[in-house]
Chains A and B, each alone.
Chain A
Amino acid sequence: MKEGAGSPAQLFRLRGASCAGCVNKIERALQQVPGVAEARVNLADKTLSVRGSVSADTCIRAIENAGYGAELATVSERELREQQRAADRAHYRDLLWRSGLALGLGLPLMIWGLVTGEMSVHSLGQQLAWGLVGLATLAVLVYCGGHYFTGAWKAFRHHNASMDTLIALGTGTAWAFSSLVVVAPQLLPEVARHVYFEASAMIIGLINLGQALELRARGKTSAAVEKLLSLQETKARVLRDGEDVDVPVDAVQPGDRLRVRPGEKIPVDGRVVEGDSLVDESMLSGEPLPVRKTAGDALSAGTLNKNGSLLFVAEKVGAETRLAQIIEMVKRAQNSRVPIARLADRIAAVFVPVVMIVAVLAALAWFNWGPEPKVAHMLVVATAVLIIACPCALGLATPMSVMVGVGLGAEHGVLVRNGKALQQAGKLNVLVVDKTGTLTEGAPRVTDLQADGDERELLRLLAGLEQASEHPLAAAIVAAARERGINPGEVQDFESITAHGVSGTVDGRAVLLGNGKLMQRKNIDIDRWRETAETLAAQGRTVMFAAVDGEAAGLIAVADPLREDAKLAIQRLKKLGLEIQMLTGDNRAAAEAVAAQLGIDRVYADLLPEDKARIVGDLQADRRLVGMVGDGINDAPALARAEVGFAIGAGTDVAIETGDITLMRSSLHGVADAIELSRATLRNIKQNLFGAFIYNTLGIPIAAGVLYPLTGSLLSPVIAGGAMALSSLTVVSNANRLRLFKPSEVTV
């Protein structure tokens, strides 16, 4: 094999190729290009597939030199989905047509049997008439159910047995027995000369109908991914040589400069170079309010530019964009296995051969101990057992619910990494929450300012002083001044006094800012501010005293404000039965004040970053199931250690990589949503599994005839076929019911 032949193929759409001669010419032209390992033209759809280490442009040039036109054919995920839906629609119509045809034959035959009761062969005339019906049924079996037979045969050759095996065996046995009755009735006792052609046709018709309806219902299970895919833009406007050029989004390279106009979607991830606009990011972050974007701000593919024009430079394209990664994660999670399904998986693996054995045993039991006509009874029970057993319901029970559950999570801004995380989230009993950035906004702000005289003047002096400091609290004071339109003063002789505060001269005035100890050290009387300071500290705020020219001038309090919705979210989580514990590097007094405000059960304060994972481990040693909520950056080890790590990071790449569950919205409500969703999905899976187990464990014995002593009749294989078709449809429909899930609400 040539080097590069195993590499993925590049596909080109050809122009001007119309005959076998063109095919040879194009293929020869490509084969002369260095790096091409293989070039194949498909004349039917006018495409060229090239393998090897060669650029698309080189290939296109070679094709153009050969006298034809070509362009790189890129099939986006969205196009693939659309093609899939089109294929599904065609398959749906095909199944309905086949079903109609089979039922068109089976139904009149069944009515004839019910009305006249004449389904037996006792004369030459009946032999001929039923012989014709037998041939018609054979045609129906081949045309409407041929795929079951080829599927069963192929599976058989591979030592596999599938649903096709059961359908083919059931309908084939009924047809073969009936044909034997028609061809050689003398081989069978008179009472057993009954034909079952109607059963074969009806079963094939009902199963095709069930599959058609199931196909419809299944389409809805992937609605969430389709919604995400629809966010992807197909075209982008790139700046080339000073002009705007529309190109397919796949052709955008990192570093390209792109323009988006009002009302357009951002095509790739990038950073604004020029312009000012509001961008609706709700589809990715869950934040309902549009965000203002100006030069230097990051843009995400799939978000909507509202009112201004933006020029930005592409940073991440194709599969690298955040949206593409989210879609990929959702798709992967939708197909991951849930631990609860292991039993069903084990049963499904041996289900069909076991059902075949049960069918043989049931037939033997009727042969040995059943009443006459034994042969007919044997046939009815064997067929009914084969047909009623439904491995599909069992196999579909979990994947369908997981698909809907994971997709639904994505719609609510909850990205679940895999089925295991989805299952475990519902079982958690302790939730450990990192305070900064999770319960609080993660950006300290000035909350209180009190002064003996002019507050604005005091703030101007303090901001001037703090301009020289690198402390996060200093940044809050400078920001507060700027917000109020105050220009900070000029500082000289700045000094930072470790663990106490700062001092300096601002516009010729000696300014001091720090804690009580600093004031004491400088002999400044702060008695009149002490009470206010204590009240503020009890509310979790960091209080600093200010002195100007050796006299107490006021105080300033800084706090990392609590997120507005933190309290309600904690209430929701507690209602869900979780104990909430808070981790923070802050001092105990401030931490406890926050905990008291929010109703948090336990607080770990004065922590170093490495302590967090240890605390999670200690809780686990106590046999607690621990969920950890953090920002995904500082808390990665603790997130990884917990049973379920919830990464809050407004959907940053880091959060997507570290969390078992990533919350697109920076809110604890996302955790509550995830837990409720997990419980709802698990409930749905259990309903499905229970339904499938019960259906099979009740259905198979009934089909085998255990109720015969009570009812005096056997289950008709036609009813078995209907029940089977209905069972998998029920599972898919029940999974779709999960789409009605709504997160709970707590009001104050």
Chain B
Amino acid sequence: MSLLVNLSGLALIAAIVWWFQLLKRSPAADKAAEAAALIVVRDGIYEPGCIRVAAGRETELRFLREDPSPCAEYVVFADLDISAQLAVGRETAVSLPPLTAGEYEFTCQMRMYRGTLVVT
């Protein structure tokens, strides 16, 4: 019994590391949505959480915030020094300048909501 509990505990730890760290780092570009998709902000996530945009071109992302929690109030592209206040229940457009290829994270102020911009 004791061995079983300990093994279950260790398996749980392994599962946490695997699910939240290892799987998360796998390239997401192939699953990325197009920039035209509406990004819904709700229940602690951006959906879709991975957006693909073309390099070297100005882009506009559209966010629809459905979560009234203050955590969702701002979307921040920290690497680009761009942020936007998202109105509840209304689409907010965020314009991005032409970007070089790479991955750029966008988050809420506290970095709990997380999304990735894949520039290809």
Q: How far is the CA of A332 from the CA of B111 in the complex (A)?
A: 17
How close is A352's CB to chain B, nearest CB, in angstroms?
8
What 1/0 mask marks residues of chain A from 1 to 29 whose CB sits below 8 Å from any chain B CB? 10001101100000000000000000000
A214 and B60 form a contact (CB under 8 A): no
Chain A residue numbers with a CB within 8 Å of B85 are 80, 84, 331
Chain A residue numbers with a CB within 8 Å of B81 are 332, 336, 418
B21 and A162 form a contact (CB under 8 A): no
Chain B residue numbers with a CB within 8 Å of A215 are 70
What 1/0 mask marks residues of chain B from 2 to 35 whose CB sits below 8 Å from any chain A CB? 1001100110110011011101100000000000
- Majority secondary structure, B binding face: mixed
B68 and A90 form a contact (CB under 8 A): yes
Q: How far is the CA of A83 from the CA of B65 in the complex (A)?
A: 13
A160 and B5 form a contact (CB under 8 A): no
**CB of B101 within 8 Å of the partner chain:** no
**CB of A113 within 8 Å of the partner chain:** no
Identify which of B44, B70, B89 contacts A162 (C-beta below 8 A).
Answer: B44
**CB of A568 within 8 Å of the partner chain:** no
Q: How far is the CA of A198 from the CA of B20 in the complex (A)?
A: 31
B9 and A363 form a contact (CB under 8 A): yes
Q: How far is the CA of A361 from the CA of B10 in the complex (A)?
A: 8
Among residues of A, the one whose C-beta sits closest to the C-beta of B6 is A364
Chain A residue numbers with a CB within 8 Å of B74 are 335
**CB of A529 within 8 Å of the partner chain:** no
A360 and B9 form a contact (CB under 8 A): yes
**CB of A218 within 8 Å of the partner chain:** yes
B20 and A1 form a contact (CB under 8 A): no
Q: How far is the CA of A156 from the CA of B43 in the complex (A)?
A: 11
**CB of A349 within 8 Å of the partner chain:** yes
Q: How far is the CA of A368 from the CA of B45 in the complex (A)?
A: 37
Q: How far is the CA of A8 from the CA of B42 in the complex (A)?
A: 22
Q: How far is the CA of A8 from the CA of B62 in the complex (A)?
A: 9
Q: Give the contacts of B73-115 with A (CB-CB under 8 A).
A: 73-74, 76, 78, 81-83, 85, 87-91, 93, 109-114
How close is B31's CB to chain A, nearest CB, in angstroms?
11
Chain A residue numbers with a CB within 8 Å of B68 are 87-88, 90-91, 94
A350 and B21 form a contact (CB under 8 A): yes
Chain B residue numbers with a CB within 8 Å of A352 are 20
B5 and A364 form a contact (CB under 8 A): yes
Identify which of B13, B19, B87, B114 contacts A360 (C-beta below 8 A).
Answer: B13
Chain A residue numbers with a CB within 8 Å of B90 are 75, 80, 83
Chain A residue numbers with a CB within 8 Å of B19 are 156, 159
B112 and A353 form a contact (CB under 8 A): no
Among residues of B, the one whose C-beta sits closest to the C-beta of A363 is B9
B110 and A164 form a contact (CB under 8 A): no
Among residues of B, the one whose C-beta sits closest to the C-beta of A149 is B43
A357 and B83 form a contact (CB under 8 A): no
Chain B residue numbers with a CB within 8 Å of A152 are 44
| Contact A80/B13 with A161-B20, A215-B70, A335-B74 known, Cβ cut-off 8 Å | no
**CB of B120 within 8 Å of the partner chain:** no
Among residues of A, the one whose C-beta sits closest to the C-beta of B47 is A154
Q: Which one of B81, B93, B114 has the highest number of Cβ atoms from chain A below 10 Å of its Cβ? A: B81
Among residues of B, the one whose C-beta sits closest to the C-beta of A367 is B5
Chain B residue numbers with a CB within 8 Å of A90 are 68
| Contact A8/B110 with A350-B21, A353-B21, A418-B81 known, Cβ cut-off 8 Å | no
B88 and A87 form a contact (CB under 8 A): yes
**CB of A611 within 8 Å of the partner chain:** no
A336 and B6 form a contact (CB under 8 A): no
A154 and B83 form a contact (CB under 8 A): no
How close is B46's CB to chain A, nearest CB, in angstroms?
9
**CB of A345 within 8 Å of the partner chain:** yes
Chain A residue numbers with a CB within 8 Å of B88 are 83-84, 87
Chain B residue numbers with a CB within 8 Å of A156 are 19
B111 and A345 form a contact (CB under 8 A): yes
A395 and B36 form a contact (CB under 8 A): no
Chain A residue numbers with a CB within 8 Å of B76 are 335, 337
Among residues of A, the one whose C-beta sits closest to the C-beta of B21 is A353
How close is B26's CB to chain A, nearest CB, in angstroms?
9
How close is A401's CB to chain B, nearest CB, in angstroms?
12
How close is B84's CB to chain A, nearest CB, in angstroms?
8
How close is A704's CB to chain B, nearest CB, in angstroms?
14
**CB of A623 within 8 Å of the partner chain:** no
Identify which of B87, B112, B114 contacts A84 (C-beta below 8 A).
Answer: B87
Q: How far is the CA of A730 from the CA of B103 in the complex (A)?
A: 34
What 1/0 mask marks residues of chain A from 33 to 64 whose CB sits below 8 Å from any chain B CB? 00000000000000000000000000000000
Among residues of A, the one whose C-beta sits closest to the C-beta of B74 is A335
A159 and B23 form a contact (CB under 8 A): yes
Q: How far is the CA of A87 from the CA of B88 in the complex (A)?
A: 7
**CB of A396 within 8 Å of the partner chain:** yes
Q: How far is the CA of A94 from the CA of B109 in the complex (A)?
A: 23
Q: How far is the CA of A163 from the CA of B36 in the complex (A)?
A: 30
Chain A residue numbers with a CB within 8 Å of B24 are 159-160
**CB of A211 within 8 Å of the partner chain:** yes
How close is B65's CB to chain A, nearest CB, in angstroms?
9
Chain A residue numbers with a CB within 8 Å of B113 are 162
| Contact A160/B44 with A361-B13, A368-B2 known, Cβ cut-off 8 Å | yes
A353 and B16 form a contact (CB under 8 A): yes
B83 and A336 form a contact (CB under 8 A): yes
Among residues of B, the one whose C-beta sits closest to the C-beta of A7 is B60
**CB of A437 within 8 Å of the partner chain:** no
Q: Which one of A75, A357, A391 has the highest number of Cβ atoms from chain B below 10 Å of its Cβ? A: A357
Chain A residue numbers with a CB within 8 Å of B114 are 160
Chain B residue numbers with a CB within 8 Å of A345 are 111
**CB of A101 within 8 Å of the partner chain:** no
A391 and B112 form a contact (CB under 8 A): yes
**CB of A348 within 8 Å of the partner chain:** yes
Q: Which one of B19, B23, B42, B68 has the highest number of Cβ atoms from chain A below 10 Å of its Cβ? A: B68
Chain A residue numbers with a CB within 8 Å of B44 are 151-152, 154-155, 160, 162, 164
Q: How far is the CA of A336 from the CA of B78 in the complex (A)?
A: 6
Q: Give the contacts of A221-277 with B (CB-CB under 8 A).
A: none
Q: What are 22 of the A-B contact pairs (CB < 8 Å)?
A: A6-B60, A80-B87, A87-B68, A94-B68, A153-B43, A154-B45, A158-B45, A159-B19, A159-B24, A162-B112, A162-B113, A215-B70, A334-B83, A349-B111, A350-B21, A357-B13, A357-B16, A363-B9, A364-B5, A364-B9, A367-B6, A392-B112
Q: Which B positions have Cβ atoms within 8 angstroms of A?
A: 2, 5-6, 9-10, 12-13, 16-17, 19-21, 23-24, 36, 42-45, 47, 49, 60, 68-71, 73-74, 76, 78, 81-83, 85, 87-91, 93, 109-114
Known: A332-B82, A395-B110; 4 extra A-B contacts, CB below 8 A, are A91-B69, A91-B70, A156-B19, A337-B78
Give me the 7 closest cross-chain CB pairs, A-B, nearest first.
A395-B110, A335-B83, A151-B44, A159-B24, A91-B68, A353-B20, A87-B88
